[in-house]
Amino acid sequence: MLAAMAFAGFGAGAVAWFEGLERDNSKAYFDATRATFLSDVREPFEDLLDELSLEFGGAPSVRRQNRDIRFSADKSPYKTRTYGWLQAAGRALYAEVSARGLYAGSGYWRMANDQLERFRAAVGDELRERMRAAERAGLELAEPALKVTPRGYPRDHPHADLLKYKSVLGGRRLAPGPEFESRAALEFAARTWRAAGPLNDWLDRHVGPSALPRERR
């Protein structure tokens, strides 16, 4: 178990704040409710990642609530979730909070071309078993990105279903309620990330971080 520290749960007004933002995604709403956002959402979320970093490592990164609307048809100014992660080697330890509660997940998301080459060269029974073990532990896995096997691989490849993945990650959600508003939310995220550990270990060993410049990914 993790030692008691700053995180004490999300505020009682967190879910209602997100529900209000979904109804009225405007600067007027955000400005009028900024204090609730900070006290019930943003600050607890930062505390959550800070404390989890003591066990899992990685530097916490919490994204801005403002959306980048420069090239988007949707001009809503704010995201309807607050999210961030710890980055350790190639794996990402991700969390988000929204009107639906707390989601925690971990794995490799949108692998770059060099990562996909290594991933596809290594797929096999060990990966399949680790994915099944993650599901038995209660994690929901990302869906395959491709409908057919990638170019250069036969459709009757013995692991054709695994070759269709471009992201390999698992996660689960804690619904709003008493646990969401207590330290149980921190332990929920920690258990989720621990359950993803064997799958992440396989990915770290066979895939690892990308060596490509970010603009080419």
Give a yes or no: residue 202 inside a domain.
yes
Domain that holds residue 44: 14-66+78-216
CA distance 145 to 54: 33
When pLDDT is averaged across residues 192-212 and rounded to a whole number, the result is: 95
**Taking the CA of residue 19 as centre, how many other CA atoms within 13 Å lie in the half-sphere pointing to its CB?**
9
Nearest to 206 by CA among 145, 152, 155, 165: 165
Place of tokens 């003591």: 54
pLDDT in tens, 93-103: 999 999 999 99
Q: Is residue 1 in some structural domain?
A: no
Contacts of 92 (CB under 8 A, 6+ apart): 85, 86, 106, 107, 108, 109, 169
At residue 9, does pLDDT exceed 80?
Answer: yes
Which domain CATH number covers 106?
3.30.1460.10
Convert the pLDDT of each residue in 164-199 to its tens digit. 999 999 999 999 999 999 999 999 999 999 999 999
| 3 is a domain residue | no
